[in-house]
Amino acid sequence: MMQQQTILVTGVAGYWGARVAQRLLAESGLHVIGIDATPPQELPEGLDFVQADIRNPLMTELLKAERVDTVCHLAFSDSRRRNEANFDLNVMGAMKVFGAAAQAGVRKIVYRSSTAVYGALPQNPAYLSETHPLHGSKQYGYTRYMVEIEEFCNGFRSQQPDLIITSLRFANIVGETAVTPLTTLLRGKVAPVLLGFDPMMQVIHEDDVIEALLHAIRHDAPGAFNVAAPGLMPLTRILALTGVLPVPVLHPLAYWGVQNVRGRFSPARLLPFDPDYLRYRWVADTRKMETELGFTPQYSMEETLRAFATFKRARHTTADDDDALELDKERLRHTLERRQRQRARREQQKEAAQ
Amino acid sequence: MSSQDDGHEIPVQDEEISNEELRQKLAAELDGLIARMKELDPHYEPPPFSPQGMISFIEKSLRHLAPTLRLEILEKARQLLSEDLFDIETWKGVWYLINYNVKYQIDFVRRRLTGEYETDEWGLDWELVEAIRPFLGFMYRYYWRTRVTGLENIPDYGRALVVANHSGQLPFDGAMIGTAIYNDHPSQRLIRNLYASWFPTLPFVSSFLERMGQVMADVDNGVRLLENDELVGVFPEGYKGVGKLFKDRYKLARFGRGGFVKMALQTGAPMIPTAVVGAEEMYVVVHKSETLARLTGFPYFPISLRFPWLGLLGVIPLPTRWYIDFGQPIPTAEYGPEAANDLILVSQLTNQTRNIIQQMINDRLAQRRSVFL
């Protein structure tokens, strides 16, 4: 490698930023700059940390001075709250980062988005393609702001034809460590559902989120991509597999409660989704991910949920428990199966290349 | 009780007991079982035994099992046949089957609660389809005494689009077309009827339709299904058809915007015009109330001779005699997929299909002598 490639990761003190930076640092020939308004609790070895707000006007100078090649934008607030602070961080933050990147001559931007931007509507087709209009929830802060960012990006792409902007729209993220709407629902013993509704849902494993972001950093793929694990399941099966007891709520009551009850007893605290997302189908088409992005998730939907269930049960057993060994065996078996499949796939790709 | 099974552990027989003891034990157990069954339904007469009946029963029971499991069971059955029919092994086999069935019923509930079941990408759940089949079969055979012609026009495999008239206020016609093909067609295909986007907003209805393998009406969905070589059913009249007044019965409404023709052209699937006669007289609707429709959020609110005056009693359909006629397929492959954008051709084919179905309905009406007999 003649010149060291510089990659800037925003929100490096956050969960996604920290994990992506860690993985990038493990690769040779990369200069990884991490930026965040607050320093991370433990600084990863070799990370070039810069303490700054992403909305800082001097961002352009930093990007220019460091000759940044790729910006991986992960500084988003996942909060469901709608307020000025979240709007400013998510929407204005993204616009300022993208603007600075364009001015500084950055080659590529990769950022994390969500399939929730399409919205959950009764007239949704079974599979939502990347070109489907964005009707995401206006009630749920993160989704509302993400729709704005995606719409801004569509215009920005045509203004900046040389800048590669890759938006990865992830399905419901599930994993042991990530905190997402669906994991919030699945971590408990009971979960509210809407009486008589059982939409088909999609998930993606947290490790595959990291893999997909790294894949997009390594390979150039302009445009938006839906990223989801293969397989679909009805919501009740997701809950059953992860050992959660569904508590049905009349849907008009759920809508009314989320709209009108504030404070400690607000159902929004129990319901990490806009009720529409538990009512209608919002499944994304992943054909573009497979063909144009060339990315294949390691975990299928069923494996993702079974892994989560194993982890959840393991939390309730102690080391000297009889169950602990069984759980450990189960987990190792899943891992072995997955690795076997990965090896087979790699060999297949090698054969195809030859 | 139907005997749909799935791959589950088989109860292991205890080998310690001698054959004679086992024989006595079995006889006692079977007597007990017979007594219990008789208590449940005193008038039950088992169907007369015949080899053909037995074979078709086995075929039906095995249809949804994995191929390897199917082979294993068939081989086991074949082995049993070659031996003495009164051998203790036969009884072991019978006992095995009964056990298997009981275990299955218990397992069914347990597996629902632990999430150990499968649905396809559209939400189809075969176990629930099988569970609801007896009811639909009853309505099809004994309540509406449906007479079906032209089943040979439905291909054994491969893509096809069934285009039918819509009537009867509640979409029983779709269910009966599905039952006719599933029960009486040699390849027993499951039809994917496309339903209106109002149904996903209704609790229970939305998930029920999904589990039955039905799909929301959308050109993308239809094309995807046909590309997977599925059998798709459409009712292009939509609400205008299903909510017809009694005085307008059997007059076809406008055939939507020709979305179904676009699906067929894009995928080269043949269109099978289908006429359903009898469903129009299920309810005698004299008026449609717009005020009540607005209040309830229904796309239409029928006022019939019995509904809403008699409440739920008014929802029970009349036992009219139904006829389902599947017509000659209309080929579309010759036009090529680009023809889907040819609006003139689309509207021509739409009208052509509509005229064929209207003609089929008129022919059937001319032959029909009574609504009920």
| Per-domain boundaries in chain B | 19-114, 126-282+317-367
Contact A232 B119 (CB under 8 A): yes
> Who has greater pLDDT, B135 or B43?
B135
Residue of B nearest to A284 (CA): B121
> What is the C-alpha to C-alpha distance for residues B92 and B86, in angstroms, rounded to an integer?
11
The CB-based long-range contact list for A250-259 (8 Å cut-off, 24+ gap) reads A250/A194, A250/A195, A251/A194, A251/A195, A251/A196, A251/A197, A251/A275, A251/A279, A251/B203, A254/A192, A254/A194, A258/A139, A259/A139
DSSP count for chain B of H helices, then E strands: 12, 9
Three-state secondary structure call for residue B279:
helix
Contact B121 A237 (CB under 8 A): no
Contact A349, A343 (CB under 8 A): no
- Token readout for A143 is 């989704």
Please give the radius of gyration of chain A, using alpha carbons only, rounded to the nearest integer: 21
Digit-by-digit pLDDT tens for chain A (354 residues) are 446 899 999 999 999 999 999 999 998 889 999 999 999 888 888 899 999 999 999 999 999 999 999 999 999 998 888 889 999 999 999 999 999 999 999 999 999 999 999 999 999 999 999 999 999 999 889 999 999 999 999 999 999 999 999 999 999 999 999 999 999 999 888 999 999 999 999 999 999 999 999 999 999 999 999 999 999 999 999 999 999 999 999 999 888 888 887 777 777 677 888 999 999 999 999 999 999 999 999 999 999 999 999 888 877 665 556 666 777 777 788 888 888 888 888 888 888 877
Chain pair A-B, CB pairs under 8 angstroms:
70
> Which chain A residues contact residue B204 at CB under 8 A?
196
> What is the C-alpha to C-alpha distance for residues B206 and A200, in angstroms, rounded to an integer?
11
> Which chain B residues contact residue A279 at CB under 8 A?
201
Strands (E), chain B: 147-149, 160-164, 191-195, 215-216, 231-234, 271-277, 285-288, 302-304, 323-326
> What is the C-alpha to C-alpha distance for residues A305 and B366, in angstroms, rounded to an integer?
59
How many percent of chain A have pLDDT more than 70? Answer: 95
Query: CA of A310 to nearest chain B CA: how many angstroms apart?
Result: 13
| Residue among A234, A238, A240 whose CB faces B113 most closely | A240
Query: CA of A287 to nearest chain B CA: how many angstroms apart?
Result: 12
| pLDDT classification of B29: cutoffs 50, 70, 90 | confident
Which helix (H) or strand (E) segment holds residue B157: the answer is none
C-alpha B294: how far from chain center: 32
> Which chain B residues contact residue A122 at CB under 8 A?
197-198, 200-201, 216
For the segment A227-275, what is each residue's pLDDT rounded down to a tens digit? Answer: 999 999 999 999 999 999 999 999 998 888 888 877 777 776 778 889 9
Q: What pairs with residue A311 in β-bridges? A: none
At A111, phi and psi to the nearest 5? -140, 160
Query: CA of A179 to nearest chain B CA: how many angstroms apart?
Result: 23
- pLDDT score at A31: 93
Contact B325, B219 (CB under 8 A): no
For the segment A284-294, what is each residue's pLDDT rounded down to a tens digit? Answer: 999 999 999 99
Contact A198 B119 (CB under 8 A): no
B230 reaches A (C-beta below 8 A):
no
DSSP A290: I
- Token readout for B177 is 């077309």
- pLDDT score at B91: 62
- Token readout for B118 is 């499968």
> Who has greater pLDDT, B230 or B239?
B230
> What is the C-alpha to C-alpha distance for residues B312 and B319, in angstroms, rounded to an integer?
16
B198 reaches A (C-beta below 8 A):
yes
ipTM over 0.90: no
DSSP A128: B
Contact A281 B202 (CB under 8 A): no
Residue of A nearest to B113 (CA): A240
Contact B207 A233 (CB under 8 A): no
Task: Determine the straight-line distance between the first and last CA of chain B, rounded to whole angstroms.
Answer: 31
- State the helix-helix crossing angle for A301-315 and A322-353, rounded to 10 degrees: 160
Residue B219: which of B267, B157, B171, B155 has the closest Cα? B267
Q: CB atoms < 10 A from the CB of A124, how many? A: 23
Determine if residue A184 is left, alpha or beta; phi over 0 gives left, psi from -120 to 50 gives alpha, anything else beta: alpha
| Residue among A123, A234, A251 whose CB faces B123 most closely | A234
- pLDDT score at B12: 47
- For the residues B232-258, what does the mean pLDDT come to? 90
> Which chain A residues contact residue B215 at CB under 8 A?
126
> Which chain B residues contact residue A300 at CB under 8 A?
none
Contact B215 A126 (CB under 8 A): yes
| Residue among A122, A233, A240 whose CB faces B200 most closely | A122
- Stretch 97-126 of chain B: residues touching chain A, C-beta under 8 Å: 112-115, 117, 119, 121-123
For the segment B265-316, what is each residue's pLDDT rounded down to a tens digit? Answer: 999 999 999 999 999 999 888 888 888 888 888 888 888 888 888 877 888 8
CATH H superfamily, domain B126-282+317-367: Glycerol-3-phosphate (1)-acyltransferase (3.40.1130.10)
Q: Is B17 a residue whose pLDDT tops 90?
A: no
| Residue among A123, A125, A197 whose CB faces B206 most closely | A197
- pLDDT score at A339: 86
- pLDDT score at B353: 95
Query: CA of B223 to nearest chain A CA: how many angstroms apart?
Result: 11
Task: Determine the straight-line distance between the first and last CA of chain A, rounded to whole angstroms.
Answer: 25
